[in-house]
């Protein structure tokens, strides 16, 4: 009977130990001098509460040995390693005692096959190692820097090889030392002789090649190649492009190969409605929006757009644009625009302009725009003043800096646009509203500034900040001169162009959560300020207000283009007063 009970007891202990394995209570270390307990804890990579496993002693010793060797300590000894059981807790204490001993110092680094041109940089990388402890990580970092240097100097296939390490004991200084013998094979200088592009079914090769700004035979530079995808992404014709591959073909020529995937570049946004008559003596009318954008005509990079919008019976907009890029192969874009605005029953404004934009670099451009503008007051039976009949000659200068890494969904970079416009205005009538003291030749100045910045602190999350400001200066302003603010592209939560002012400032703060490369959900807050100065002669009081809008939205990549949808509340709005803004994102 007693024998049976012993067997049962032993089996019970075995089962308990099987179902409840021992855990690590603590890891205690003694003898370390050059590295802290936390260093060893990081190397061992075992924590209190982890399960004890078979071979745990060897695992601990191997991990410590590996890390000491990487840091130049080769003569360490392990005096003891014990697993002391704590029965009442079914756990163990790991007690380790070691002696790190002395490190190994670098006596000399011998370099072979280093030419004179590169010797200054290469020797400066290695000279500071002599007399220091041999640390594999620091040595590898310097080798990486040297390889990067050669990659940016036309030698992407360079090889840095450690041929031998000669260890010895310096009895005079009682130190362990090592001589390191390194050879560098830079291979043949590499150049970019050809550019290979695949995946562009519609876009012509030359459109991409000219954006790359690479001359045939240009020396290979990894630093320059890394930024090439960003140049192509700014075209807005492709899915985000990865870094290109480089190889030497069978003819010994260097080939830079890009893989692209085209996206929809022809966008259409439209809605049509019919408003029936509300009185016997009037007819109904058509209202709505038609916005057609062709941003890569025939695969040549040319662009054209047509926009028609009618908000009510008496107000409509017509906007025609055309862009011809890289005139005669030079980095100069020319564009034209015809614009007409019919504002209620007040006036008709027409503008024709021609712009030249010099693409100085891939991020910096400067331009000039010349335009002729006319403002014609509408006929009214009440003989009430609305605006003067006038013609305006505009001369605009602008400067643009764009370091964004993508046209549609940038995750870093800035865009800065600054413009100055000189407006020479001639008042032609109506004669009954031109008083003896009314100036008929007026010079106006218009200043505009736009700044966008993008930051990504967490993967697939982006903080976007946008600021825009404008100011008019002159003796007096008409409604056709003023800046417009409100709506989808400025101050959400309010009607399109709801606010007019001679001075406007608005800012947009968005936090974006990227769902795909071009689709993201966002929350936002918009702030806007406008000022319309007092005009005593026309009985216009000063108007100055500060507005806030906030909400959320989503930008969706669709077959028609990037569709932006947002729900916004203006200052003091209830939920039922919220406004939905939507439209195809047009980066003409």
Check whether residue 58 and residue 111 sit in a common domain.
Answer: no
> What mean pLDDT comes out for the span 364-385?
86
Contacts for 379 with CB less than 8 Å, ≥ 6 apart? none
Domain contains 292: no
pLDDT at 14 over 50: no
**70 and 128 co-located in one domain:** no
Across 162-190, average pLDDT: 92
- The answer to whether 126 and 111 are in contact (CB under 8 A) is yes
Same domain, residue pair 66 and 116: no
Instruction: Return the closest-CA partner of residue 410 out of 458, 467, 364, 455.
Output: 455
The answer, yes or no, to whether residue 7 has pLDDT greater than 70, is no
pLDDT band at 49; cut points 50, 70, 90 = confident
Confidence at residue 4, expressed as pLDDT on a 0 to 100 scale: 57
Check residue 575 and give its pLDDT: 87
Residue range of the domain that includes 60: 20-99
Q: What is the pLDDT of residue 416?
A: 96
Domain contains 9: no
Kindly state whether residue 582 falls inside one of the protein's structural domains: no
137 part of a folded domain: yes
pLDDT for 140 beyond 50? yes
Q: 143 with 177, same domain?
A: yes
Give the domain-ending residue among 154, 185, 216: 185
- pLDDT at res. 462: 96
Q: Taking residues 171-189, report their average pLDDT.
A: 92
Question: Is the pLDDT reported for residue 491 higher than 70?
Answer: yes
180 pLDDT more than 80: yes
Q: How far from chain centre, in Å, is Cα 144?
A: 27
pLDDT in tens, 210-234: 999 998 899 999 999 999 998 999 8
Taking the C-alpha atoms of residue 61 and residue 173, their distance in angstroms, rounded to an integer, is: 30
Residue bearing the bigger pLDDT, 165 or 1: 165
Cα dihedral 161, 163, 169, 171 in deg (nearest 10):
-90
Q: Are residues 175 and 198 in the same domain?
A: no
pTM confidence score: 0.78
What torsion do the CA atoms of 482, 485, 489, 495 make, to the nearest 10 degrees?
-130
Average pLDDT over residues 492-508: 92
Determine contact, residues 263/578, Cβ cutoff 8 Å.
no
Q: Is the pLDDT of residue 505 over 70?
A: yes
| Position 362 in a domain | no
Q: Are residues 25 and 94 in the same domain?
A: yes
**For residue 520, pLDDT beyond 70:** yes
Last residue of a domain, one of 166, 185, 204: 185
Structural domain contains residue 151: yes
Q: Above 80 in pLDDT, residue 536? A: no
> For residue 50, what is the domain's CATH number?
3.10.20.310
Please give the pLDDT value at position 36: 92
**Does residue 441 sit within a domain?**
no
Q: How far apart are CA 123 and CA 111, in angstroms?
A: 8
Flag whether pLDDT at 417 surpasses 70.
yes
Instruction: Kindly state whether residues 134 and 179 are assigned to the same domain.
Output: yes
Collapsed DSSP state (helix, strand, coil) of residue 346: coil
Total domains present in the chain: 3
Residue ranges of E strands in 403-489: 413-429, 441-458, 461-473, 483-485
φ/ψ region of 197 (left if φ > 0, alpha if ψ in -120 to 50, else beta) reads beta
Q: What pLDDT is recorded for position 224?
A: 92
Mean pLDDT of 474-486: 89
| Residue 366: pLDDT band with limits 50, 70, 90 | very high
Question: Looking at residues 330-334, what average pLDDT do you find?
Answer: 95
Domain boundary pick from 259, 294, 316: 259
pLDDT bin (cut points 50, 70, 90) of residue 310 is confident
Residue 243 DSSP symbol: P
pLDDT at 446: 95
Residue 490 located in a structural domain: no
pLDDT at res. 551: 94
When the pLDDT of each residue in the chain is averaged and rounded to a whole number, the result is 88
Q: What is the DSSP letter of 405?
A: S
The mean pLDDT of 337-349, rounded to a whole number, is: 89
pLDDT in tens, 79-123: 998 988 887 778 899 999 999 999 999 999 998 888 888 888 988
Q: Residue 548's closest CA among 563, 535, 529?
A: 529
- Lowest-pLDDT range of 17-26, 188-197, 247-256: 17-26
Residue 578 has pLDDT above 80, yes or no: yes
pLDDT confidence of residue 13: 46
- Which H or E element spans position 41? helix 37-44
Same domain, 111 and 137: yes
Residues 30 and 85 reside in one and the same domain: yes
Between 116 and 61, the more confident residue is 61
Question: Residue 15 — very low, low, confident or very high, per pLDDT cuts 50/70/90?
Answer: very low
| Cα–Cα distance, 453 to 415 (Å, whole number) | 7
Report pLDDT for 16. Answer: 46
The C-alpha angle with vertex 200 and arms to 195 and 204, in degrees rounded to 5, equals 70
3-state secondary structure of 139: helix
């Amino acid at each position: 009977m007693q024998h049976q009970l012993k067997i049962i007891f032993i089996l019970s202990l075995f089962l308990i130990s099987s179902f409840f394995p021992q855990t690590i209570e603590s890891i205690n270390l003694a003898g370390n001098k050059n590295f802290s307990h936390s260093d060893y804890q990081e190397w061992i990579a075992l924590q209190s509460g982890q399960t004890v496993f078979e071979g745990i002693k060897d695992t601990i010793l191997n991990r410590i040995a590996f890390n000491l060797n990487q840091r130049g300590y080769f003569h360490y000894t392990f005096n003891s390693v014990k697993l002391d059981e704590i029965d009442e807790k079914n756990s163990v204490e790991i007690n380790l005692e070691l002696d790190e001993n002395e490190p190994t110092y670098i006596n000399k680094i011998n370099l072979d096959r280093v030419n004179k041109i590169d010797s200054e940089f290469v020797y400066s990388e290695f000279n500071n190692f002599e007399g220091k402890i041999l640390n594999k990580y620091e040595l590898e970092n310097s080798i990486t820097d040297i390889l990067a240097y050669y990659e940016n100097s036309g030698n992407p296939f360079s090889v840095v090889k450690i041929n031998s390490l000669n260890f010895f004991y310096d009895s005079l200084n009682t130190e362990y030392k090592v001589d390191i013998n390194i050879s560098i094979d830079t291979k043949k200088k590499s150049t970019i002789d050809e550019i290979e592009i695949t995946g562009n079914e519609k876009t012509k090769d030359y459109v991409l090649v000219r954006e790359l700004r690479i001359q045939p035979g240009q020396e290979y530079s990894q630093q320059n190649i890394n930024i090439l995808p960003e140049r192509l992404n700014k075209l807005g014709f492709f899915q985000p492009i990865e870094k290109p591959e480089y190889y030497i073909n069978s003819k010994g020529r260097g080939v830079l190969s890009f893989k692209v995937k085209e996206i929809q570049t022809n966008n259409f946004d439209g809605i049509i409605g019919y408003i029936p008559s509300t009185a016997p003596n009037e007819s109904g009318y058509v209202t709505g929006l038609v916005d057609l954008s062709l941003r890569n005509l025939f695969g040549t990079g040319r662009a054209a757009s047509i926009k028609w919008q009618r908000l009510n019976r008496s107000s409509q907009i017509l906007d025609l644009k055309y862009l011809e890029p890289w005139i005669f192969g030079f980095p100069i874009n020319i564009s034209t625009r015809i614009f007409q605005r019919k504002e209620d029953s007040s006036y008709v404004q027409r503008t024709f302009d021609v712009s030249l934009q010099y693409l100085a670099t891939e991020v910096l451009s400067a331009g000039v725009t010349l335009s002729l503008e006319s403002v014609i007051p509408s006929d009214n039976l009440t003989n009430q003043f609305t605006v003067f009949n006038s013609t305006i000659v505009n001369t605009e200068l602008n400067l643009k800096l764009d370091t964004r890494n993508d046209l549609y969904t940038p995750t870093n970079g800035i865009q800065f646009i600054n413009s100055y416009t000189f407006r020479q205005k001639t008042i032609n009538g109506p004669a009954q509203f031109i008083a003896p003291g009314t100036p008929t030749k007026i010079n106006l100045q218009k200043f505009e500034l736009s700044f966008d910045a993008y930051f990504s602190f967490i993967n697939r999350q982006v903080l976007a900040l946008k600021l825009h400001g404008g100011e008019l200066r002159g003796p007096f302003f008409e409604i056709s001169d003023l800046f417009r603010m409100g709506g989808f592209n400025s101050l959400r939560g309010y009607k399109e162009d709801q606010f007019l002012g001679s001075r406007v400032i608005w800012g947009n703060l968005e936090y974006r959560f990227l769902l795909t490369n071009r689709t993201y959900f966002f929350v936002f807050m918009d702030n806007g300020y406008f000022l319309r100065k007092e005009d005593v002669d026309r009985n216009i009081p000063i108007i100055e207000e500060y507005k806030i809008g906030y909400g959320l939205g989503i930008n969706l990549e669709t077959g028609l283009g990037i569709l932006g949808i947002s729900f916004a509340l203006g200052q003091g709005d209830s939920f039922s007063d919220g406004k939905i803004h939507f439209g195809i994102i047009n980066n003409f």
